[in-house]
């Protein structure tokens, strides 16, 4: 179990590093490809369970709205609502790893 936790953090940190390398291209990748989104969602679920980050549903309304607006800027109407929510969660994970 510890190995899985460390692997998930490693993958999350790697995704955050890729975001830093070229954030515009990486955000486009989050919108067009589900694989990086799913990797970050697994990290999101792990971080929520460990109480390292607050679940999107438990965040203050203003924070939810701000995160949603940021994701909408990247998505530009190309994804359905469920996948937009996945992008928001992915961005929360990237933010977490960038602020470590």
Residue pair 94/47 in contact by the 8 Å Cβ criterion: no
Encoding tokens for residue 38? Answer: 């799913």
The pLDDT of residue 5 is above 80:
no
Residue 54: band (very low, low, confident or very high) from pLDDT cuts 50, 70, 90: very high
At residue 7's C-alpha, the angle toward residues 1 and 95, to 5°, is 120
pTM of structure:
0.88
**What distance in Å separates the CA atoms of residue 100 and residue 96, rounded to the nearest whole number?**
7
The pLDDT of residue 9 is above 70:
yes
Report the run of H or E that residue 45 belongs to, with start and end.
helix 34-49
The pLDDT of residue 3 is above 80:
no
Mean pLDDT along residues 6-12: 82
Q: Residue 39: which residues within 8 A CB-CB, separation 6 or more? A: 11, 12, 15
């Amino acid at each position: 179990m510890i190995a899985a936790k460390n692997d998930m953090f490693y993958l999350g940190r790697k995704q955050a590093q890729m975001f830093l390398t070229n954030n515009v291209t990486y955000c486009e990748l989050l919108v067009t490809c589900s694989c990086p989104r799913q990797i970050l969602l697994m990290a999101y679920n792990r971080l929520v369970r460990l109480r390292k980050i607050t679940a999107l549903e438990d965040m203050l309304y203003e924070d939810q709205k701000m995160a949603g607006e940021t994701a909408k800027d990247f998505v530009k109407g190309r994804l359905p609502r469920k996948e937009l929510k996945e992008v928001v969660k992915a961005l929360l994970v990237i933010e977490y790893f960038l602020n470590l």
